[in-house]
Amino acid sequence: MNVTGTETSAGSSTTRSRGEASADKAVTSDYETFLRMLTTQLQNQDPMNPMESDDFAMQLATFSGVEQQVKTNEILTGMGASIGVMGLSELAGWIGREAEVEAPAWFDGAPLTLSPKPSEDADRAVLVVRNAAGAVVAQEDIPIGGGQMEWAGADSSGQPLPKGAYSFTVESYSGDQVTDTSKVGVYAEIIEARGGSSGTLLVMKGGIEVPASAVTALRDAS
C-alpha cells in the first residue's frame, strides 16, 4: 500500500518539461516564420502604397499576445499538477481504509456493503448487478427505505458469482413503471493514491481507479 506522490510528481514534472519544451519550440518556429513572412511582405510591398506603421505594429502585437497566452497556459498546467500532488499527504491516512463511491467494486467472495437510495415516492425498488462486461447478472427486490445492505455475491438464482468487478444500480418503480435509475454507493478498500495534472485518483481493491472527489463516506476496514 504505497502513496506514489513522489514518483508521480517526478513523472508529471518530466511530462510538463517535455510539453513546455515542445511549446517553446513551436512558438519559436512560428515566430521565425512570422518574421520571414513580414520581411517578404516588406520587400514586395508597393512603393507607392507602403504598409502603414500602424498595421505593422498591430501584427507584431497580435503575435506577441498569442505567444504570451501559450506561455500562460503552460504555467497554469504546471500549477494544476502541483496542487493535485499536494493533496496526497492528506490522503496518506486513507490508505487501507474503505471508501464509499458510486463506482464498480471488486468482489473476491467477501460480502460488499452497498448504500442504495431508491426514490422517495417509489413503491418498489430493485437492485441490479452488472459484471465488467455490462451484462446483468443479478436482480433482487430491496427495501424502499434504502439504507446499507450486504451483497453476498449471488446471482438471481442464488448461485455464487465469480470474482471480478461488479457495478450496482437501483431501479425505482411506481406500479410496473421504472421511474428512476440511480447508481449505488459501495464500500471498497483504498490501496493507493496517485496525483497528476487531472487531479488525485484513488486506486481501489482490484485496481479500480476513482477520483478522490467521488468519495462520499470513509470508514475503517472491516
Q: How does pLDDT run across 167-218, given as a tens digit for each residue?
A: 999 999 999 999 999 999 999 999 998 876 777 889 999 999 999 889 999 9
Distance CA 194, CA 3 (A): 7
The answer to whether residue 149 scores a pLDDT higher than 90 is yes
Question: Do 209 and 97 meet the contact criterion of CB atoms below 8 Å apart?
Answer: no
Distance CA 186, CA 201 (A): 17
**pLDDT one-digit tens code per residue, 21-36:** 555 555 556 667 767 7
Cα angle: 14, vertex 16, 19; to 5 degrees: 110
How far is the CA of 134 from the CAs of 100, 139, 165, 168, 199, in angstroms?
A: 21, 14, 10, 10, 27
First to last CA, the chain: 17
Cβ contacts of 100 within 8 Å, gap of 6 or more: 113, 115, 185, 186, 187, 215, 216, 217, 218, 219
> Residue 85: pLDDT band by 50, 70, 90 thresholds?
very low
Q: What pLDDT, on a 0 to 100 scale, did the predictor assign at position 92?
A: 80
Question: Do 195 and 87 meet the contact criterion of CB atoms below 8 Å apart?
Answer: yes
Instruction: Give me 212's grid cell.
Output: 478522490
Distance CA 16, CA 73 (A): 12
**pLDDT one-digit tens code per residue, 122-138:** 999 999 999 999 999 99
